[in-house]
Structure 1
């Protein structure tokens, strides 16, 4: 029996209608998938495709005609993969940004056109040499070398305090490393933001940065202090705020860097770190005890090292308040009494390495922090020396000659095993501290690697400053007349001197400007046969930066305040083209950048012939004298400008005196006016009185005259009346006489008649007698 033949493909007539529908549908799905970039969308959610995607993206970028080797050319909200990204390394947190790039720029990207195209002006400085010749006290000028470089106008980086405060609020609420700090703010932060009072309670300054060559960005750390009472000189908390800037110093907000980190287990993994953010530095704190305690990292210096995997590793050196167990005693079976001591000590910290808990800062392990991830830190302990109550102002640097050779992957003996620290500048003391392979895992052991001259002197007024940057020059250098072209093309011989450059800060007190003054000083440190020497140190440099008042922006040199321009870090130094960027802070309140051209040229113009012999010299003394002279000159200048406290006080005093004088003159004028008015009034009153008296007198006179006249007239009238009466009287008398005469005549006649008629009776005689009496009476009247 044979099996019937079955053809591989059926004849077209045997295809069912469903196939004619299915095939176009599949083709349509594929077309739509390609059109909407579906394959890449899927790959975004699959770690398996990340490395291929990056490689493909890099190939596309390199084939593109448009230059794309600078971060500023991309959309600001993105994730940046390093150019040495290794797809064999595990990812712990993938980026949240859907827009991403892998950076592939070269090391020259840090020197952008933005920096080179700026206007540079000449700036003179004086450098004091550590000559071994013993000089008299008045001969600082004999070791002074006048030099110059070129600088740009300073630029103050913008502070977005609102962005800073909202970032802090988010981390206080959501980041376990920050949640325990919430009691310091007492839920006041939203109210401070709402009232627009952030500038009264939050201050951001002391910015220091490094260039991340694998990502093409500047990573800057700034100190942020918070004051509950709104007083800059009374903060309770100090934190570190990390920001990312492109090659033109524009901040990149909400950006993620894909960085290789070392987790608490010591494993190298990739992590996506978002910026800006506050860095989770562990430190001891107690929100119930804040008087005379400043919690958190201070005076942070950032330096770029190589870790044991060969990765660029930003390392910080800072001081912080912490506690350690002094004594433990058992009171009974259940209670243990622990006594603590408190210190302000120096620490080293790693931005891309982590630890669990904070035993090394709190003295004991608090169980609530057991699973909380912090940045890795270790206390820097000087071998053979007990802790002192305060350690600060250490200057870090790396010796590139000690850096182990880098292999591709997996070698645990790579990179920088040590960091050097200048412990003291006058009578130089240098420590060598562990960065790996720790003798004691609880701390980093520092050995006293070099001491200039044994002394018990204190740190002195020249201290701190930036990290130091390595540079090599020819041995027995005599290139005093090299131009810039010679410097860039010069072939370096085998024998070279190892130098470091940086900027210290001279801190002089009671020098004539407020309580104290801080200014940068350029330095050159040299190493020869394991010996170090501060070969050159400049006087005070102002970089043409306007330094405003500590409390009152418009008034400098006030009271006991500091007049402060403090160097924080060297952000970059391109030795080929001789450009350097320096970050500084003014009055502990901002971050300021100055770009400098010609530092390498300046270095080459100096003699470098130190033979390794160590002797006493006057260098530091001369620098301090210069700082005091600078301070006095600054105070005099601003006194003339009128914005120093002394000038303001004098202006106020003059204004007060003028006001008092004007007041006195006004009072005098008013008094004189009043007296004049009074005198005039008195005069008027007197004249009025005199007039009235005169008028009265005249009136009295008139009245008197009138009365006299009237009296005279009256008397005259009376006289006339009397005369008239006299006349009448005379007439009457004459009449009487006449009457008398006639009466006598009549009488005689009567008598005669009486006699003749005597017998007429008595009544007639009486009647006549009364009539005569009445007549007499009338006359008398």
Structure 2
């Protein structure tokens, strides 16, 4: 009856109600503006303490909306694949009776559609241009104030459902890889389910994705970390978890992708053939069968921090490649003929949609127990003619648009920035993993600026539009790359280590000169890579979760980390120019992790628009409406070489002054963030965490006792088997 009473109330009541409503709206706007304007107010924790210790940060408790294509078989667009071949291939699998779907050519989306979101303006940050001299603040700094960003979205991962599929595939369908890793995994997972403690032992981080247009899906990989003791700082093993999401980021929680793959030539291969192409399939979500140095009694095993990038194979299909690092024991033969084991942390690339039988590409890992198993094709990346360092990490991959054209439209290699401070670029064969050095700046120091996302080739992004040809946007022979790196600051004022994203713009120029040889002069080519712009820290307006989950207000204890992992897509809707400026309508999707236990995403509007209009030694040509400047621009920004291949004039970007400026400004960000945390910590109510911590420890201790009983029972059962070879048949 309240509404009827309001309807017939007098004017005075309506005035009071109107004032109350207006006051409420003003209050909401003020709060909204306050949160938006404070660059360091991201200190508010995202989850309650009880949620964090239960695995919420990894997305395991996030309610995920299912895609309508869940429990279906997806065929790649453009292939003629008879249903009977698919059904025969999937005989005796969980997917044998699922409906089959395949996109029509007109339904294929080259880029995922934009999403409606409440964008807001990112707080101002600085881009520093390269110069051999000049003051950071006065001469090299460009303040960016108009970049738009969406709120943080968690990419969900239902641990219970993921591990249910692992157990089902192991028990019912005898998945060979799951049988292979059984000694460290399967019994433990069963015990987790029995004790209802799945989220205590699993973490998910370092997620990145690519858009698979032949299915209209996001293909997401992340580091799926198994901490058998419940401590994420000392994991037992890490795996590459692969998930599939539709164009609206709804997960296909149980789906099978049929994909074109390589032909191994064996009758028992898990493949089938149609229309001259070999195919295989996986059920997702799944742990990819990436080979690693496997010993049941060791720790920190397996692939870590995977990053995805798309390459175009010789058949013209775009396929994902995962770049990761992993411990790898290599054997060297000594002078007396004996072999000595040396431990390395090496870089690898894996092809999720290609197979290999055994570990033939990784001879140190090969053994008779794995010779009949099928793994994800994986290659160690080795720089030839250079001593192998003990630790290789954070290589940033990139694909050359020019080289793809020269090769006839497909890729034969991936290049990597292995060092950003003293820029070093290597090019690695997709067939062998062998690498050669393309460019090396003097100096070997790694420095605080480290690799984050893959570098995106902006030449290919600019080709998404047809209105303005590439030669009017870029000087001849130039490729422009963009990535989010991450500076690692040590004890800058907040915790032991502090990480945030930094934007990096790198250009590659080809310069030709006449070199002397025995037969006279020959044309030679020299490559120049330069970091033209580097930003200071970006907050992304993302709340930071504590490193130690039992201390929700201790943001500056341990490590404070927001790490960029991948650029999922970059869509350019239009490009024009007006009044001497480029006008680009573009959307970039970034994926990142917070405190090493989340997989998140945000969208940016206008990153390309910002890059096109940066002042100074820009990577791009000015718009046609700016007259009389192109020749001057080329003279300043393009390399000119003498007869010995030396630079005839200084070249902007060869130094690293901009990196120094960006790091110093990032340190100020860290100090300001720490100051904010101290304020918030003092203002927040004290929370007694003793009871929650004791409950967690008691749960883990009780679980360990139960698990030891399970292991003993399984050991006794195995000893009583009449045929000890029976389990080998499952491989």
TM-score by length of 1: 0.65
| 1:634 aligned onto 2:678 | no
Partner of residue 423, structure 1:
418
- Give the Cα–Cα distance (whole angstroms) in 1 for the partners of residues 567 and 261 of structure 2: 24
Structure 1 segment 249-328 matched on structure 2, within 5 A: 249-265=249-265, 268-290=277-299, 294-327=300-333
Q: Secondary structure at the match of 1:239?
A: strand
Q: Partners of 2:181 and 2:205 in 1: how far apart?
A: 21
1:548 equivalent in alignment to 2:545: yes
Q: Contact conserved, 1:128 with 1:622, CA < 8 A, in 2? A: no
Asked if 1 retains the 8 angstrom alpha-carbon contact of 2:222 and 2:305, the reply is no
Cα shift at 1:103? 1.1
Q: Which residue of structure 2 aligns with residue 588 of structure 1?
A: 596
Contact persistence 2:307–2:453 (CA under 8 A):
yes
Residue of structure 2 in register with 1:466 after alignment: 453
The aligned residue for residue 50 of structure 1 is none
Checking the alignment, whether the CA contact within 8 Å between 1:140 and 1:618 is kept in structure 2 is no
Displacement after TM superposition at 1:501 (Å): 1.3
TM-superposed deviation, 1:264: 3.0
Give the CA deviation at 1:324.
1.8
The residue correspondences of 1:515-526 to structure 2 (distance < 5 A) are 515-526=496-507
How many residues align? The count is 544
* 8 Å Cα contact 1:171/1:179 also seen in 2: no
Superposition pairs for residues 322-401 of structure 1, below 5 Å? 322-327=328-333, 338-361=339-362, 363=364, 365-401=366-402
**CA distance in 2 between partners of 1:522 and 1:258 (Å):** 37
Among 433, 436, 456, the alignment partner of 1:447 is 436
1:118/1:604 Cα in 2 relative to 1: closer, same or farther (>3 Å)?
same
For residues 620-659 of structure 1, what are the alpha-carbon distances to aligned partners after superposition, in whole Å with 9 as ceiling and x for unaligned?
Answer: 1111112211111111112111279xx899999xxxxxxx
- Please name the residue that 1:666 is paired with: none
CA distance in structure 2 between the partners assigned to 1:354 and 1:125 by the alignment: 47
Is this contact kept in 1: 2:396–2:452, CA < 8 A?
yes
Report deviation, 1:130.
3.6
Q: Match of 1:122?
A: 121
* Alpha-carbon separation, structure 1, partners of 2:608 and 2:537: 19
Question: Which residue of 514, 527, 531 maps to 2:528?
Answer: 531
Contact conserved, 1:77 with 1:97, CA < 8 A, in 2?
A: no
CA distance in 2, matches of 1:177, 1:583: 28
Instruction: Look up the SS of the partner of 1:188 in the other structure.
Output: helix
Corresponding residue number in structure 1 for 2:483: 502
Alignment of 1:79 with 2:73, yes or no, is yes
How far is 1:100 from its partner? 1.7
Per the TM alignment, residue 578 of structure 1 is displaced from its structure 2 partner at its CA by 0.5
- How far did residue 361 of structure 1 move? 3.7
Q: Which 5+ residue runs of structure 2 have no aligned equivalent?
A: 1-64, 267-272, 511-526, 574-584, 619-632, 640-650, 690-731
For residues 450 and 265 of structure 1, do their structure 2 counterparts lie closer, same or farther at Cα, with a shift above 3 Å needed? farther
Q: How far apart are the structure 1 equivalents of 2:191 and 2:687?
A: 41
Counterpart of 1:575 (choices 572, 578, 583) is: 572
| Residue in 2 that maps onto 1:434 | 429
The alpha carbon displacement at 1:272 in A equals 2.6
Whole-angstrom distance in 1 between the partners of 2:473 and 2:538: 33
Contact 1:556-1:643 at 8 Å conserved across structures: no
Distance 1:219 1:574 in 2: 17
- SS of the aligned residue for 2:381 comes to strand
CA RMSD of aligned residues (A): 3.1
Supply the distance in 2 between the matched residues of 1:561 and 1:594 (Cα, whole angstroms).
25
Question: What secondary structure sits across from 2:240 in the alignment?
Answer: strand
Which residue pairs with 1:760 in the alignment? Answer: none
Greater relative contact order (Cα < 8 A, sep 6+)? 2
The structural deviation recorded for 1:491 is 5.0
Please report how far the alpha carbon of residue 340 of structure 1 lies from its aligned counterpart in structure 2 after TM superposition.
2.0
Give the conservation status (yes or no) of the 8 Å contact 1:548–1:554: no
1 or 2, which has the higher helix percentage? 1
CA distance in structure 2 between the partners assigned to 1:474 and 1:164 by the alignment: 35
**Counterpart residue number, 2:726:** none
Instruction: Tell me which structure has the larger Cα radius of gyration.
Output: 1
CA apart distance, 1:223: 0.6
Distance 1:308 1:349, change over 3 A: same
Give structure 1 stretches of 5+ with no counterpart: 1-70, 331-335, 407-412, 439-443, 476-486, 653-781
Q: Which residue in the other structure is 1:207 paired with?
A: 207
Cα pair 2:331 2:339 within 8 Å, conserved: yes
**Residues 67-87 of structure 1, C-alpha deviations (whole Å, 9 max, x = no match):** xxxx99854321122221144
For residues 536-571 of structure 1, the C-alpha deviation after alignment (integer angstroms, 9 at most, x for no partner) is 111111111111101226535557511111111011
Q: CA deviation at 1:397?
A: 0.6
The farther-off stretch of 569-578 and 203-212 is 569-578
The change in CA–CA distance for 1:575 and 1:394 in structure 2 (over 3 A counts) is same
- Judge conservation of contact 1:422–1:430 (CA < 8 Å) in 2: yes
Change (3 A) 1:371 1:329: farther
